[in-house]
Amino acid sequence: MLIQQCLTPDNAHTCHCSQRDVRVEQGKIAEVAEMLVPRPDEETFDADGKLLLPGMVNAHYHSYSNLWKGTAWGEPLEVWSSDTIGLGGLMGNEEAVLSAYLGIAEMLHCGVTSCIDHIPHADRVDSICGAYRKTGFRAAVAPMISDISDDRALYGIVSDTTRTPPSPQRMAERYDGWVRRWHDPDGTLTVLCALNAPQRSSEQALKVAADIQEQYDLGVHTHLLETLWQSTSSELSGRDPVELLKAFGLLTGRTGLAHCVFLNEVQIRQIADAGSTVIHIPTGNLFLGSGRADITSYREHGIPVAVGSDGSNCATGQNLLEILRSAVLLARLTEPDYQKWMNPLEAWKMATENGAKAAGISNGAIRPGMNADLVLADLSGPAYRPCYEPLVQSILLADHLDVTDVWIEGKPVMRDRKLLCMDEEALKQAVRERTPYLYESARQAKERVLPEKKRFETAYYEQIVRKGRRT
């Protein structure tokens, strides 16, 4: 396939765009040059005046949450979690698939072609993987290993846990099946070894995760030091989560660390030395009042920073361009030296190459050898009038990318703004039909978990609000 006359970034060292042709062969970008000559019988695609970009990578995301939009508004993570655990318990296979399809559709319309799906529900992993494989969306699924609940991990709350999580050994058995069925490093679907979080993992669970990672040669994904309460609890318990990852061989150049709002200098250096990627989630951190990650400091230490959307019930949806803009502008509030502010290329790499590194895929730039995960965007909107630097204007001015066409591994999954990988109207109808049941079920689930939620709320006020700690 030959995409002709598109505007695309010149090279890996600038965000400036020039008119180029892009040739795709066997799912990879083969050539990028001016005035490529079509070969006999080669499919050609006229992209004159449009912007061709590598698909963005959503490096931290929870697909289950798409059915629970609008169920939360203004609570910190530890209080909000009781509701979302209750809602997650309502997820059957049908709901998990619908929710995964909703996320895929939304991400494609936003110019996102890859994600890391951090999955808390082991019984739904196969169904979710089936949705990714059927649509051809590129995903790294990361089923969570966890055997310590928050009422045991957090300081200042009396444990009253009644839930029994899957044992670490049972999770090891399940990982064996998931890897055999779904892990395809040469395809569009892979498996990552995932913790929920180090503080929610016993030494046994950490050892099991390390064995899984080594046995199957997987990348690693986890939440890390998301809130002040987590940070304080780790200090008081003596269980430093970064040290735990390091001790069990889970802090490597193939590790993605989501949130990282409360890292100290020692932890930052350890992450930098390991070559791990920090995944910044500015809108999720803001929604939950968790705080503001100091990504300027992380970048100064040489840590690659990616971006993610988190869940649709604790953030602002899958518009990664909006999330990237939030990351860029928020970072300026903590750094008065404007010469240290991110330039457009550094910002764009957060949504592309750095996310690809966390996911373990060859994506993120339009150059030979990369996966042909490509997004074509219309430049006729007001953000591009006049159009001087289309990529810069996309990052700073556009509400969203006006995506017209998408290819994953060189295969069209959207053409003329219409999804080809699914029946989007049928999906919408299925969700509409399911909504009344889900709404009533959600109401009942939130009522059932209200006593547990009150326990966390009381402890939160004691540990954070009354003691004068600030997030």
The domain locations on the chain are 55-365
Query: What pLDDT does residue 471 have?
Result: 45
* Ranges in the chain, pLDDT < 50: 471
Report the DSSP pairing between strands 403-408 and 374-377.
Answer: antiparallel
The CATH number of domain 55-365 is 3.20.20.140:
yes
The residue written with tokens 């040489």 in the block is 302
Provide the 10 A C-beta neighbour count for residue 279: 32
- First-to-final CA distance of the chain: 51
Q: Looking at this protein, which amino acid is placed at residue 216?
A: Y
Q: Looking at this protein, which amino acid is placed at residue 292?
A: R
The Cα 107–Cα 109 span in angstroms is 5
DSSP helix, strand, coil percent of the chain (3-state; round to 5): 45, 20, 35
Query: What pLDDT does residue 467 have?
Result: 73
- Give SS3 for 251: coil
Cis peptide before 390 (omega within 30 of 0): no
**C-beta separation of 363 from 57 below 8 A:** yes
Structure tokens at 419: 């999804």
The pTM is what?
0.96
Q: Looking at this protein, which amino acid is placed at residue 223?
A: H
Residue 458, H or E segment: helix 450-460
Under 8 Å CB-to-CB from 438, ≥6 apart: which residues? Answer: 67, 90, 95
The Cα 266–Cα 88 span in angstroms is 36
Q: What size, in residues, is the chain?
A: 471
Residue 174, H or E segment: helix 168-182
The Cα 382–Cα 97 span in angstroms is 36
How far CA 252 is from CA of 80, 120, 272, 275, 279, in Å, comes to 31, 23, 10, 6, 14
The Cα 111–Cα 322 span in angstroms is 12
Query: What pLDDT does residue 307 have?
Result: 98
The Cα 224–Cα 195 span in angstroms is 10
The Cα 318–Cα 58 span in angstroms is 8
Closest CA to 365 of 21, 59, 57: 57
